[in-house]
Amino acid sequence: MLPCVTIFSKHSPLFIGLAVLQFAKPFIGHWLILAGLHLTLLGILAYALRRFTQHWLQSIFIDQRKTAYYAAGTLVYAQEFIQAGFEKLSTLPWISGIAWHSPYTEEMLGEQQQQQITLTAQSLEVTIYAYQRITASQHFQIKTLIQLLEHFHQAKRREAAFAQQAHLQAIHETGAKLTHDIKNLLQSLHAITSVIESSPPQKFGDTQRLLQGQMPHLTQRLKRTLDKLQKPAEFSYSHVPVTLWWENLKTRYRKSHIEFSDHKEIENILIPEDLFDNVSENLLQNALTKRQREPELQINVLLHISKRCLQLTVCDNGSPIPEEIANQLFSQPVPSRDGFGIGLYQAVKQLAHTGYKLKIVEDIEGQVCFELASTE
């Protein structure tokens, strides 16, 4: 059904003026008057396009909902900007629906009709559906608006890239400042480790035996962390048997009320220890932090090893990850209440070209699961 436009609508004087001029054209015979009439028509069309574009951009940039996002300090992503732009564009009275393909998704607003045109502008491919045949002026109008939307969309993407770069730079500088503190901590741990390793086991209780097993491992991990901070380009990952790594992980978290289970068809697999430590501890620390907000949270860790694949799965039965966070979790830093919002993003970057991939396999109420799996 065609949308209703009344003489009391916001842009009604423009529509009335265009209708009057179109009606008067057949009754004018002198070419000078006809030429003047056409120039007047073009002027009114240009003014109408300017008025609509101004109102359209205002509604995107100064919308109260978006202003609230900025006031709360939340980044309005380029994907949301595209969505808002097409929502406003679909309010044109002759448009019945808009479908678009962007770098993020494929979406559709409104309804499809037989009359349609397809336009491309850099990263956008847009199909416009109309109630009636699309005129040349409407084609020009919609093409201009889409190009304008894509221009601001690309600016939004560049803005996000600059913000991400600044965020990473701030974290890099923080890491550089912490290097000296880590070095001092490492020296203290070396002293403690030498005392623990030289003590007879008969003099140790359960806690002391735990320290004796874990302190040398912790010391080595801190040393490798320091090596990465000082010479990141020269650092290479050390590989250990997966069963040894698995037992160390269970020992470190044995008092955290986490359920560990495994299914191992073979046991002589070597894994990059630092990568697995980084991913597993990010996932488990995030889950433990979530438990502080949801006290009844249950956390399960499963290690599955077959002849063709290795999978480490971390699940909890809590609330799902918000969709806008889940979509950005592995591609850029995300807003976080408990830290930098960068742990999993950095972990995924480190996994590149290692033969392993981290992904979200479940994200529903009562079942949130991450999986680290081999890809080769």
Residue 260: which CATH number? 3.30.565.10
Q: Which of 204-213, 252-261, 281-290, 320-329 has the lowest mean pLDDT?
A: 204-213
Are the C-beta atoms of 40 and 169 separated by less than 8 Å?
no
Please choose, from the candidates 194, 227, 224, the residue with its C-alpha nearest in 3D space to the C-alpha of residue 212: 194
Phi, psi values for residue 206, rounded to 5°: -60, -45
Residue 7 has pLDDT above 70, yes or no: no
The enclosing H or E element of 54 equals helix 31-61
Same domain, 248 and 151: no
Same domain, 139 and 246: no
Same domain, 153 and 288: no
Please give the residue range of the domain that contains residue 56: 12-164
Q: Whole-number mean pLDDT of the chain?
A: 75
Between 46 and 139, whose confidence is greater?
Answer: 139
CA distance 86 to 83: 5
**Entry pTM:** 0.50
CA distance 220 to 238: 11
Q: Quick one: average pLDDT of 110-117?
A: 89
The enclosing H or E element of 206 equals helix 206-230
Q: Which of 135, 164, 193 is the last residue of a domain?
A: 164
Q: Which residues pair with 129 in a beta bridge?
A: 97, 116
Contacts of 282 (CB under 8 A, 6+ apart): 343, 344, 347
Q: What pLDDT score was predicted for residue 5?
A: 41
Burial of 364 by CB count in 10 Å (0-12 exposed, 13-18 middle, 19+ buried)?
exposed
Q: How confident is the model at residue 51 (pLDDT cuts 50, 70, 90)?
A: low
Q: What pLDDT score was predicted for residue 363?
A: 93
Same domain, 150 and 247: no
Same domain, 245 and 367: yes
Is 174 within the bounds of a domain? no
Is 205 within the bounds of a domain? no
Residue 146 has pLDDT above 80, yes or no: yes
Residue 250 has pLDDT above 70, yes or no: yes
CA 33-39-41 angle, to 5 degrees, is: 105
Is 133 within the bounds of a domain? yes
Q: Quick one: average pLDDT of 60-87?
A: 57
Same domain, 134 and 241: no
Residue 14 has pLDDT above 80, yes or no: no
The enclosing H or E element of 370 equals strand 367-374
Residue 335 has pLDDT above 80, yes or no: no
Is 181 within the bounds of a domain? no
Q: What pLDDT score was predicted for residue 211?
A: 66
Q: Which of 99, 131, 164 is the last residue of a domain?
A: 164
Same domain, 111 and 243: no
Q: What pLDDT score was predicted for residue 316?
A: 95
CA distance 297 to 316: 7
The enclosing H or E element of 258 equals strand 258-264
Is 35 within the bounds of a domain? yes
Are the C-beta atoms of 246 and 270 separated by less than 8 Å?
no
257-261, 272-276, 285-289, 341-345, range with greatest mean pLDDT: 257-261
* SS3 state of residue 286: helix
- Write the pLDDT tens digit of every residue in 213-241: 667 767 776 776 666 666 655 556 678 89
Is 185 within the bounds of a domain? no
Between 117 and 194, whose confidence is greater?
Answer: 117
Please choose, from the candidates 128, 82, 121, the residue with its C-alpha nearest in 3D space to the C-alpha of residue 105: 82
Q: What pLDDT score was predicted for residue 62?
A: 47
- Write the pLDDT tens digit of every residue in 297-329: 999 999 999 888 899 999 999 999 988 888 888
- CB neighbours (10 Å) of residue 334? 20
Tokens at residue 101, please?
A: 């393909």
Same domain, 254 and 156: no
Is 183 within the bounds of a domain? no
What's the number of domains the chain is made of? 2
CA distance 246 to 303: 8
Q: Spell out a b/e string for 248-267, using b for 16 or more CB atoms within 10 Å of the CB, else e.
A: bbeebbeeeebeeeeeeeee
Q: Which of 164, 187, 204 is the last residue of a domain?
A: 164
Work out whether the CA dihedral 255, 258, 264, 269 comes out positive or negative.
Answer: negative
% pLDDT > 70, the chain: 62
Is 224 within the bounds of a domain? no
Tokens at residue 46, please?
A: 């240009």
Same domain, 27 and 159: yes
- Write the pLDDT tens digit of every residue in 53-69: 666 555 555 454 444 44
